[in-house]
Structure 1
Amino acid sequence: MTQQVILSIQSAVMHGAVGNEAAMPVYQHLKQPAERLDTVRLAAHPGFGTSAISITPPQELQNLLNDYCHLANFQNLGAVQTGYFGLPSQIDPVARFISSSRAMQRNLIYLLDPVLGDGGRLYVDQAISDRMRDYLLPLADILTPNQFELGLLANTPITNETDAISAARSLIKGRLQTVFATGIVTAAGQIADILVCADTQTLVPAEKQSSGVSGSGDVLSAFFLSAVMNGKTTQKAAEIASYSTAPILRRAETRLTMPVLQSVWEGLV
């Protein structure tokens, strides 16, 4: 039986591990067939002080996705993962692609990693956030926001795990039945990843970091989606994702350096 493919639509960097540079090594390590489409290209995460950015034009995204649909391997597409978008208008062709793909593959899974901001700060255009909420959120089966992004999409402040669970439940409707919220600060001052489904909720303790590490959400989402694709329950997938991401985070020398490749090469995950 042919293994299903994941299409990862995210950012790309020359140096470091964020977006597709974080997710693809995970998929390769897991022997999970995956293909990529880059929304933007940068030398490195902007935190390094770089400023040049090459944004894939929306029409180019549309053309590439149209051609992808004509490949034989499109028949094996089982999931789509999206992350960072550089323009609000990039969202339209991606939303159309997901909708049209489901006409042929009804069980296609869509994981929306809403890369919008962190630490109380929006770092994309507000229009991207609005368009994501209006056009991608209704298509998603799985949502993997951080604490800030969860509050933004649910339009409510989040200060603890109770707030996070309530916010996640407010988003569960239609196709969206799984919210895996990461880096939630609990009332006890701990950090947890929280899985909220239609009727259940699970807190997975996470190691507290002095600050968020760029790319950690991309890595965690890749571990989670691959586990789901391989038949794991969402609860088991959440545990695998959290515990597999932890050793990589421990090795991060700065908040900008997620050592994904090194960890894979050295067998730490």
Structure 2
Amino acid sequence: MKSVLSIQSHVAYGYVGNRAAVFPLQRLGFDVTAVNTVQFSNHTGYGQWTGQVFSAEHIADVVDGVAARGGLEGCDAVLSGYMGEAGLGQVIVETAARVKAANPRALYCCDPVMGDVGRGFFVRPGLPEFIRAHAVPAADVITPNQFELEYLADRPIVTLEDALAATAAVRARGPRLVLVTSLTHAAVPADRIEMLVDGPDGARVVETPRLPLDPPPSGAGDATAALFLAHLLTTGDPAQALEAAAAAIFAVFETTRDRGSRELQLIAAQDRLVAPPRRFASRPVR
């Protein structure tokens, strides 16, 4: 059984951060150690929430406790999401280095949670700069959305060629693989959406229908990053991981639409996470 250390946000109500990542990983057969960077009542997209961001010292203390139980040596991957603030981000990057020192084959998958199209940045000042300068170069895999990729590469994305130039620029700074979890460009119809993976063996895109979800459920990127990492660890093949993640998150979106919810319906869709009813073939683009 493979294991993942997942360090990201937690909400009591709804499905974002670890609440969106841990269950899919477990349902796919992974043992998950979850460390929560925040505890909020609900995700911030509601406009009101309660709770707090945990301090860097608190997270470091929790990680040290996990390490004392031997919980870092057996990790096959570290998955990070919402970091809270730069000091906490430094603890996460150092934790990934500790895991990789104990297991040189372990991966660090960084979901650079910073913002989104339409919302802009929604994290504390200084965190985007920390992610770009420190977390991304330390990662083996990063999973930005289009807005985050534009920031990391410091260039707008209008065409597929722009997206490929952006992923190449980011990969040149350290990560082996870049998964763009949501991509639209001039050649994508309004009722479709793409995901793109770029790595040393080339780049591929997969296209799925864009379902009418209003408002779009938060946490989709968190779940997609977890699904991609799970299938990458299982198959070792970025193309297979891309197709499997796209099929699974589409199945979750369908269930969410059918239930009329603004929260990802991960529990209701759990069997479809494992065996999605629809598959989508990827195609090479570089």
Q: TM-score, normalised by structure 2?
A: 0.87
Query: Could you tell me how far apart the structure 1 residues matched to 2:173 and 2:158 are?
Result: 27
Specify the alignment match of 1:54 in structure 2.
52
- How far did residue 265 of structure 1 move? 5.9
**CA deviation digits over 1:208-250, x for unaligned, max 9?**
1456431111111111111111133011001100111101112
Amino acid across the alignment from 1:196: D
Q: Secondary structure at the match of 2:187?
A: coil
Query: Kindly tell me: are residues 85 and 72 of structure 1, through their superposed partners in 2, closer, same or farther at Cα, counting changes over 3 Å?
Result: closer
Residue 196 of structure 1: which of 195, 198, 207 is its match? 198
- Identity over aligned pairs, percent: 25
1:220 counterpart = 2:219 = no
Contact 2:72–2:99 (Cα < 8 Å) also in 1: no
**CA deviation digits over 1:175-196, x for unaligned, max 9?**
4110010211132233210111
- How far did residue 142 of structure 1 move? 0.6
Query: Could you tell me how far apart the structure 2 residues matched to 1:68 and 1:174 are?
Result: 30
Bigger shift: 37-46 or 210-219?
210-219
**CA deviation digits over 1:105-153, x for unaligned, max 9?**
1111011101111114111123111111112111101111110000011
Contact 2:252–2:272 (Cα < 8 Å) also in 1: no
Specify the alignment match of 2:182 in structure 1.
183
Mapping for residues 233-252 of structure 1, pairs under 5 Å: 233-252=237-256
Query: Could you tell me how far apart the structure 2 residues matched to 1:54 and 1:187 are?
Result: 40
Amino acid across the alignment from 1:202: R
Query: Could you tell me how far apart the structure 1 residues matched to 2:173 and 2:201 are?
Result: 14
Query: Could you tell me how far apart the structure 2 residues matched to 1:23 and 1:208 are?
Result: 21
Query: Could you tell me how far apart the structure 1 residues matched to 2:101 and 2:12 are?
Result: 36
**CA deviation digits over 1:59-102, x for unaligned, max 9?**
01111111211213332111000001222211111111112222
Residue 36 of structure 1: which of 15, 30, 34 is its match? 34
Query: Kindly tell me: are residues 260 and 68 of structure 1, through their superposed partners in 2, closer, same or farther at Cα, counting changes over 3 Å?
Result: same
Bigger shift: 45-54 or 156-165?
45-54
Query: Kindly tell me: are residues 126 and 209 of structure 1, through their superposed partners in 2, closer, same or farther at Cα, counting changes over 3 Å?
Result: farther
Contact 2:248–2:272 (Cα < 8 Å) also in 1: no
Contact 2:142–2:175 (Cα < 8 Å) also in 1: yes
Contact 1:48–1:256 (Cα < 8 Å) also in 2: no
Query: Could you tell me how far apart the structure 1 residues matched to 2:140 and 2:269 are?
Result: 29
Alignment coverage as a number of residue pairs: 267
Specify the alignment match of 2:170 in structure 1.
171
Contact 1:114–1:145 (Cα < 8 Å) also in 2: yes
Query: Could you tell me how far apart the structure 2 residues matched to 1:175 and 1:104 are?
Result: 20
- How far did residue 49 of structure 1 move? 3.2
Query: Could you tell me how far apart the structure 2 residues matched to 1:77 and 1:219 are?
Result: 19
Specify the alignment match of 1:6 in structure 2.
4
**CA deviation digits over 1:3-42, x for unaligned, max 9?**
2310111111111111111111101211111110000111
Query: Could you tell me how far apart the structure 1 residues matched to 2:71 and 2:78 are?
Result: 14
Query: Kindly tell me: are residues 255 and 188 of structure 1, through their superposed partners in 2, closer, same or farther at Cα, counting changes over 3 Å?
Result: farther
Specify the alignment match of 2:43 in structure 1.
45
Q: Which runs of 5+ in 1 are unaligned?
A: none
Contact 1:206–1:246 (Cα < 8 Å) also in 2: yes
Query: Could you tell me how far apart the structure 2 residues matched to 1:125 and 1:54 are?
Result: 13
Contact 1:8–1:34 (Cα < 8 Å) also in 2: yes
Contact 1:26–1:223 (Cα < 8 Å) also in 2: yes
Mapping for residues 1-269 of structure 1, pairs under 5 Å: 3-120=1-118, 121-173=120-172, 175-190=174-189, 191-210=193-212, 212-253=216-257, 256-264=262-270, 269=276
- How far did residue 166 of structure 1 move? 0.8
Query: Could you tell me how far apart the structure 2 residues matched to 1:212 and 1:188 are?
Result: 22
Bigger shift: 57-66 or 204-213?
204-213
Query: Could you tell me how far apart the structure 2 residues matched to 1:86 and 1:150 are?
Result: 19
